[in-house]
Amino acid sequence: MKQNRLGTSGIVVSEICMGTMTFGKQADKEMSFRILDQSIDAGIDFFDTAEVYPVPPTVEEAGRTESLLGEWMKGRDRNSIILASKVAGAAHGWFNPPVRGGKAALDRVHIRQAVEGSLRRLQTDYIDLYQVHWPDHGMRPEDTLEVLDELVQEGKVRTIGISNEDSYGLMKALWASDVSGFARYDTIQNNFSVIHRRCEDELAEVCRREQVSLLPYSPLAGGVVSGKYNDGQLPEGARFSAYLKNGAPRQRRMAERFVNPKSLETTARLVEIAKEADMDVVTLATAWSKQHDYVASTIVGVSHEDQLAPIFAAADLELSDEVLKKIDEVSAELLYPMGTLLGA
Residues with catalytic roles: 53
Specify whether the backbone of 279 is left (phi greater than 0), alpha (psi in -120 to 50) or beta: beta
Contact between residue 158 and residue 128 where contact means Cβ atoms under 8 Å apart: yes
Ranges of H-type helices in 188-306: 203-210, 239-246, 249-258, 261-276, 281-290
Whole-angstrom distance, CA of residue 24 vs CA of residue 319: 34
Whole-angstrom distance, CA of residue 116 vs CA of residue 125: 9
Amino acid at 327: I
SS (H, E, C) the chain: CCEEECCCCCCEEECEEEECCCECCCECHHHHHHHHHHHHHCCCCEEECCCCCCCCCCCCCCCHHHHHHHHHHCCCCHHHCEEEEEECCCCCCCCCCCCHHHCCCCCHHHHHHHHHHHHHHHCCCCEEEEEECCCCCCCCHHHHHHHHHHHHHHCCEEEEEEECCCHHHHHHHHHHHHHHCCCCEEEEECECECCECHHHCCHHHHHHHHCCEECCECCCCCCHHHCCCCCCCCCCCCHHHHHHHHCCHHHHHHHHHHCCHHHHHHHHHHHHHHHHCCCCHHHHHHHHHHCCCCECCEEECCCCHHHCHHHHCCCCCCCCHHHHHHHHHHHHHHHCCCCCCCCC
